[in-house]
Amino acid sequence: MGKNVTQKLIESHLAEGDLSPGGEISLDIDQTLTQDATGTMVMLEFEAMGIPQVQTELSAQYVDHNLIQSDFKNPDDHLFLRSACKKFGVWYSRPGNGVSHPVHQERFGKPGKTLLGSDSHSPAAGAIGMLAIGAGGLDVAMAMAGKPYSVPTPEVWGVELTGELPDWVSAKDVILTMLERHGVDGGLNRVIEYYGPGLDSLSCMDRHVIANMGTELGATSTVFPSDDEVRRFLKGQGREEDWTELKADPDADYDAHEQIDLSEIVPKIAKPSSPGNVVDVREVEGKEIYQSYVGSSANPGFRDFAIAAAIVDGRQVDDRVSFDINPTSRQILENLMNAGYLQSLTRSGGRIHQAGCNGCIGMGQAPATGQIALRTVPRNFPGRSGTKEDAVYLVSPETAAVSALTGKITDPRDLEDIYDMSYPSVSEPDPYSINKDQLVAPESFVDDGAPADFEGEPDLGQGDVQDVELEKGPNVVSLPNFEGLPDKLSGSVILKLGDDISTDEIMPAGSRILPYRSNIPEISKFVFEQVDEQFYERSQEEHDGDGWIVVAGVNYGQGSSREHAAIAPRHLGIRAKIAKSYARIHRQNLANFGILPLTFKSDADYENIDQGDTLSLPNAREEIQQGTTVTVENETQGTTFEAQHDLTEREVEMILEGSQISVVKKEFEEATA
């Protein structure tokens, strides 16, 4: 039996384990990606572990989330990240250079390589034949230190594409169709691999759109083959020498199968407040909108902006609509200017913002209260836009642009009747204008005589970088120490939650909160603010026991990879969580920082717990070492039930020691003694 692309990528990087789904594998990591909302913590963790330099082939740090400089916090963190990149041997992408995922694909991505990113949308790199996985920052710091990354062995879900997309339909509608079929947890513990003749009509950036939002399906990663289209893309970026062919064998098989006829897809839209709440645009057309937003890591390509520009060219957007244009890289912005598309967007009423994540993460461009915002972003969780009472719909660039003109949700196919306009044809520039100037090479590139324009790979350990001082402003606070698990753990249920709680609800983003990402005591004041405005005050109250316990439903912790959703609750004294099920990255983050992630054996056990009950785990430390069952006594109700865990031996050690940092620091000190 032949191998699929995912199997080939895993086998070529397998450090431990096997390919049988249900176990655990450890993978050697070639590249890492960090962004500033999570990367500051990664650098603080790397410092805490005491490791001098990164041991990957390439590590890159992007400043793309926290670009608003309303006070000293964000710029101080930018300087801290710059100094950390110098000290540890990491590429530094300057503020305004662009969103991490498209820039990394343009400049660093290589078929056949593995990538671990401290951003949940890192699987976007799978568009060019990489195995790219999103993870918590501490896992990425470990990979930077040369440690393999461990993950549950995924199934490989093969999706065969046939046909071609019709006019007015694009890649965003493909991934929204997948979400309509399977919801936000349909890809759990799976790698989605696309194949088939339909790939011939999808560009690398079309594939990027689909791979990026595979995360919203809960998938471990998304993989495309490295074919002639990938070669064309890399040639356009001046990197054809980085191309290698990587395709599934003709007789390859998959653990699960799916088929999509691209010619049958129609314009789709995800209603508030979940990427899985997908319907045809026809079902909701006619609703008045306030905002139409083009850009983000989910629609980052030149074509995504060019098609919107061609649609609005010579016309004016409705005077009620804020038409927000978020270029995803400085390079794409330059090419849009050169081709005249930027002028079309601005003349139509478009508001041009700096290249970065911006409104996607709630950093500016917040919509009006209760008003509909159409966005080409990957997520529409409640309040993520920066407005608590928001109404964000996820759409394609075509739907966003056409609706901006009409002032209401409009099926883009209707433009042919409204303006007697056929579907515009756009093409990428040839040659493509390349911009490398805002990427700063690691000191090791410069000090050993290698040019700073990406030729060659860093000679790790060379250059006098140990004397580099980390620039820590007053908002950069070293990580707190977390104590290990006691023999007996008891605590009050401080919060009982329902299903599909996202990390945006656990640890909100936005311009008011994210500037504290390098200051755990301060950012902890916003934990669970979206669901309980008094949560921080309640967490400061005295109570019996060793800490607090949170109870939740299914798919707890979906969404962003931000480990602050684990670190900040731990700082507030949360020692255990019991849920019906967890999203993969958040579950790992909990273990990384010593929070015991337990699951209910039955729905009845969940129903029989009330917020405020006192729970006791009388043999917690002993039981997690000896088996998978933990005894839980509800002292308030006078009942006892069994919860379970799926912790590996490695994760059990983290829980016992208090955090993965404690484990690694001890190992490093012993190895260098």
- Phi–psi pair at 591, nearest 5 degrees: -65, -40
Q: How high is the pLDDT of residue 309? A: 98
Q: How high is the pLDDT of residue 613? A: 96
Element (H, E) at 45: helix 36-49
Rounded to 5°, the CA angle 579-584-588 comes to: 85
Please compute, for residue 228, the number of CA atoms within 13 A of its CA located in the half-sphere on the CB side: 4
Q: Give Cβ neighbours of residue 539 (< 8 Å, ≥ 6 apart).
A: 494, 527, 548, 572, 573
Q: How high is the pLDDT of residue 446? A: 46
Q: How high is the pLDDT of residue 456? A: 41
Number of separate helices (H) and strands (E) present in the chain? 23, 27
CA distance 222 to 157: 9
Q: How high is the pLDDT of residue 673? A: 64
Domain positions in the chain are 5-264, 268-418, 489-670
- Fold of the 5-264 domain: Aconitase; domain 3 (3.30.499)
Element (H, E) at 230: helix 228-236
Cβ atoms of 604 and 596 closer than 8 Å: no
The Cα diameter of the chain in Å comes to 76
Quick check: do 5-264 and 268-418 share a fold? yes
CA distance 141 to 145: 6
Q: How high is the pLDDT of residue 667? A: 76
List the structure tokens of 420. 């007697």
Cβ atoms of 563 and 590 closer than 8 Å: no
Number of other CB atoms surrounding residue 130 within 10 Å: 29
Element (H, E) at 258: strand 256-261
Parts of the chain with a pLDDT under 70: 444-466, 668, 673
Query: Which of 138, 106, 127 is CA-nearest to residue 32?
Result: 138
Q: How high is the pLDDT of residue 245? A: 98
Note the pLDDT tens digit of each residue in 4-14.
999 999 999 99
Note the pLDDT tens digit of each residue in 390-403.
999 999 999 999 99
CA distance 440 to 87: 13
Sign of CA dihedral 169, 171, 99, 275: positive
Evaluate whether the domain defined by 489-670 bears CATH number 3.20.19.10.
Answer: yes
Using only C-alpha atoms, the chain has a radius of gyration, in whole angstroms, of 24
pTM (2 decimals)? 0.87
List the structure tokens of 396. 């394609």
- Fold of the 268-418 domain: Aconitase; domain 3 (3.30.499)
